[in-house]
Amino acid sequence: MGFYHLLLLILIGLTAGFVGGALGLGGGIIIVPALIYLLNFGQHQAQGTSLMVLLFPVGIFAVVNYYRAGFIDWKIALLLMAGVVVGSYFGSKFSIVLPAATLKRIFGFFILLVGLKMVLGR
């Protein structure tokens, strides 16, 4: 791995961390497209790598800040965590058997729908 790739990976990580801490997102919105379009990863490899990054408590410092400000509902968070654990298992089983082109289209469509909903409102 050359200096350019190392620097690019650090910048992608910093961007994902900043956006994640500021807006509560990062893996799918920042890391996956960056790995695909800047480092020529395949869709499956980009998603798997992004999930690996998020596997460990990378957001712990952001969580501490939100907790100190009183913005964490622990009951809701724990219920969501349980759902994420189960859902991510079955979601990964589903996605790894899809062709990369299909997975990329689904991924892009989902981001588009969420973006439109956020921009246009309810």
Distance CA 96, CA 58 (A): 24
Distance CA 106, CA 110 (A): 6
Q: Report the pLDDT value the prediction gives residue 18, as an integer from 0 to 100.
A: 79
| Closest alpha carbon to 59 in 12, 86, 24 | 24
Q: Are 16 and 30 in contact (CB under 8 A)?
A: yes
Q: Indicate the pTM of the whole model.
A: 0.74
Q: Where are the domains of the chain?
A: 3-120
Q: Report the pLDDT value the prediction gives residue 7, as an integer from 0 to 100.
A: 92
Q: Report the pLDDT value the prediction gives residue 74, as an integer from 0 to 100.
A: 92
Distance CA 23, CA 88 (A): 21
Distance CA 19, CA 111 (A): 15
Distance CA 67, CA 73 (A): 9
- For the chain, 122 residues long, the average pLDDT of each consecutive 10-residue run is 90 83 74 90 90 79 91 91 88 92 90 87 76
Q: Report the pLDDT value the prediction gives residue 52, as an integer from 0 to 100.
A: 85
SS (H, E, C) 42-104: CHHHHHHHHHHHHHCCCCHHHHHHHHHCCCCCHHHHHHHHHHHHHHHHHHHHHHCCCCHHHHH
Q: Report the pLDDT value the prediction gives residue 1, as an integer from 0 to 100.
A: 81
